[in-house]
Amino acid sequence: MAEDAAAGSPILDLPEPLLLHILSFLADPRSRHRASLACHRLLAAERATRAALALRGDPRSPTFLLLGPGFCFPALERLDLSLVSPWGHPFLSAAAPAADAAQPATTEEEVAQQNAFIAEHLANCFPAVSSLAVYCRDPTTLACLTPQWRGRLRTVKLVRWHQRPPGIDAGADLEPLLRDCPVLRALDLSEFYCWTEDIAPALAAYPAAAAALTELDLGLAGATDGFHAAELGASAGSCPGLRKLVAPCVFNPRYVDFVGDDALLTVAAKCPKLTVLRLREPFEPASTSQGEDAAITVAGLVSFFAALPALEDFALDLRHTVLETAPAMEALARRCPRIKFLTLGGFQGLCKASWLHLDGVAVCGSLQSLCIKGCLDLTDASLAAIGRGCARLAKLAIHGCNLVTSAGIRRLAMALRPTIKEVSILHCRLLDTATCITALSPIRDRIESLEINCIWVEAEQPESVANGTTGGDHEEEDLGDVSYESAAKKCRYMELDDLVSWEMLRSLSLWFPAGEVLSPLISAGLDSCPVLEEISIKVEGDCRTCPRPGPRVFFGLSDLAGFPVLAKMKLDLSEAVGYALTAPAGQMDLSLWERFYLQGIDSLMTLYELDYWPPQDKEVNQRSLTLPAVGLLQHCIGLRKLFVHGTTHAHFLSFFLTMPNLRDMQLREDYYPAPESDMMITEMRAESWLRFEMQLNSQPIED
């Protein structure tokens, strides 16, 4: 029947090259699946034009291994194997469990033969792979995979949230990759846990492969320590052709071999072609970093920018402070004319805005994205100057700037109305949620992505704001006479206050302190979001210190049912800390807190995909779904994709089989350190998950 219906379709009358060209523009996976089910010709055309694929099944299963030679994607270039099932279990490793639990592979030779067969089968199904992402518990996985695409792999992303295997040599994790991939150009380790001491020896052991790299992301998932000056210099020296470098660094001057001016100049001298450079400082307790200055000076930054004229994307996110940085920002504008993306953390004196002339970061007129974190002397007058000078900004983020008020945000929004698309305002002491939303009213119909923190207690206002004035009085008076803002333009902006609809808002991110509720959000001004598709909710804090909610008081997810096209949600409770086991008298354990946060999620009828991070008890390193959470998620009848970033009890999985539309589910313990085994707490085994997956795949799905 499907063949007969497709035979009359006009698209099949097109020549084959034109049909393939049209299908190459079809990006949505479900739409491609529908097209491939129409007829054999469209099936072959879909496989011939698919460019990216993420496997989430079990590549060791007979269903995959027995696929014939007709199952081939000849043009597929981007293959993601980091999410294969069961998540985190090595499928190509010396310790890999057998696909059939009844007949385990007991010898190393049998495991090696099985690994070689799986790797060869993957290469036959996807012969043109040039970009690969893979979960690597140990070097065996790469040793099996990389020879299959030896002359093609140009981009590789490694993922590992488990602890580094004990007993292996420094750099052994990267050795198969650098040895077998001569055309490798980009290496992404942003989600790969290893030691900082592993990077430099691996790059030094294969100088030709290291010299060919143009992109190197050393984010190192879960890293609590960064690269010291010697390690950063050695890694940069091995890769002189780098155009992109991302790395966590030790900027604390108390530590030996910290990163300062000399280290930054060394990186600039060894990698002069850098266009993207992002350096950040790992989290440090306030007792070791609060109030201290970094060993980075304005003179050092000026010399650093002079050595990197091609810089387009620069991030220096520090936990320590750098004082009086306005001259350095002016040097950045002169020396790096292509700069478009700028992220600064801990920089003070970025823009003084003392007079009408622009200074500091406000002179960087080519910026399209600006993120300012922890600038304690950033004022409303500074924001006004940034709005005048950085007129091309499409993305703006202000985090932890305690002198910024609603008046400054409003003036900045009015100045950037023609270009602004994304706004992020977090942890500013003088801005509560309702005030912030009101200040953004001039650009409600322009914003596509919004991130704010939800604090319903009225934020304190400085005396000058309470009296109707701001700290920049002289500038307010002078700006009234400037010709760039005409009276007609002012009237046009004032009319925007009457807008009540966020007609272009597609993505909303909310931050909540532990114990706070979502319910006042709608009345605060986010009541009309007709095209909102995705919402992210992050909860942080110690639930053990929060008062016990009332008997019928819940977080308020049901209030989100008013968003008509809401399809994706990320609910992150991973930083909400509580009691996983028995709680003391008068306290709530994590099961009751999960009920508090998830109550009402079943009312979100349009919800299609959910990423959920359960709350945790750090003392036992447990992030597990509890029975109330499973029961509430079970009633989300429209949910099709469910990704739990934690684990659960094996016998709870049967609850999810009653969800009528659930098609894709996975447990991902993507946090460090990921547990080596859940059997002691949840009785979850790889075989238990694979059995559940088989049952889920056999469920009838209407569409």
19 pLDDT exceeds 60? Answer: yes
DSSP letter string, 125-177: HSTT--EEEEE-SSTHHHHHHGGGGTTT--EEEEEE-SPPPTTPPTTTTTHHH
- Closest by CA to 448, choosing from 411, 416, 423, 473, is 423
Mean pLDDT: which of 469-478, 498-507, 555-564 is highest? 555-564
- Which pair of structure tokens corresponds to residue 574? 């991973």
| Average pLDDT, integer, range 191-201 | 93
Give Rg (Cα) of the chain: 27
Measured in whole angstroms, the distance separating CA 295 from the mean position of its chain's CA atoms is 29
647-658: burial string, b at 16+ Cβ within 10 Å, e else = bbbbebbebbee
Q: Which residues on adjacent β-strands are paired with residue 537? A: 510, 571
3-state secondary structure of 489: helix
Per-residue confidence (pLDDT) for residue 31, from 0 to 100:
86
Pairwise pLDDT comparison (5 vs 447), residue with the higher score: 447
469 pLDDT exceeds 70? Answer: no
600 pLDDT exceeds 50? Answer: yes
Q: How far apart are CA 64 and CA 584, in angstroms?
A: 50
Per-residue confidence (pLDDT) for residue 192, from 0 to 100:
95
Per-residue confidence (pLDDT) for residue 224, from 0 to 100:
77
Pairwise pLDDT comparison (3 vs 38), residue with the higher score: 38
Alpha helices in 586-699 (DSSP H): 590-598, 627-634, 653-656, 686-697
Q: How far apart are CA 361 and CA 349, in angstroms?
A: 9
Contact 229, 263 (CB under 8 A): yes
3-state secondary structure of 629: helix
What's the chain's average pLDDT?
87
User: In sequence order, which residues have a C-beta less than 8 Å from that of residue 287 and are 6 or more positions away?
Assistant: none
Pick the range with the lowest mean pLDDT from 33-37, 114-118, 128-132, 620-624: 620-624
CB count within 10 Å of CB 573 equals 28
Calculate the dihedral angle through the C-alpha atoms of 217, 223, 228, 231, rounding to the nearest 10 degrees.
-50
Pairwise pLDDT comparison (495 vs 690), residue with the higher score: 690
pLDDT-derived band at 157 (thresholds 50, 70, 90) equals: very high
Q: What percent of the chain has pLDDT over 90?
A: 65
Q: How far apart are CA 547 and CA 596, in angstroms?
A: 13
Pairwise pLDDT comparison (104 vs 438), residue with the higher score: 438
DSSP letter string, 318-332: EEEEE---HHHHHHH
Q: Which residues on adjacent β-strands are paired with residue 396? A: 370, 423
Structure confidence by residue, pLDDT tens digits, 639-666: 999 999 999 998 999 999 999 999 999 9
Q: How far apart are CA 194 and CA 235, in angstroms?
A: 15
Q: How far apart are CA 101 and CA 85, in angstroms?
A: 15
- Closest by CA to 131, choosing from 150, 158, 157, 151, is 157
Per-residue confidence (pLDDT) for residue 166, from 0 to 100:
87
Pairwise pLDDT comparison (13 vs 243), residue with the higher score: 243
Helix (H) / strand (E) element for 191: namely strand 186-192
Structure confidence by residue, pLDDT tens digits, 307-346: 999 999 999 999 999 999 999 999 999 999 999 999 999 9
Task: Determine if the pTM surpasses 0.75.
Answer: yes
Q: How far apart are CA 673 and CA 616, in angstroms?
A: 13
CB count within 10 Å of CB 392 equals 15
Per-residue confidence (pLDDT) for residue 563, from 0 to 100:
95
Q: How far apart are CA 240 and CA 65, in angstroms?
A: 42
- Closest by CA to 381, choosing from 343, 355, 399, 400, is 355
Q: How far apart are CA 330 and CA 350, in angstroms?
A: 10
Query: Nearest 5 degrees, angle CA 319-CA 216-CA 89?
Result: 90
Q: How far apart are CA 450 and CA 532, in angstroms?
A: 11
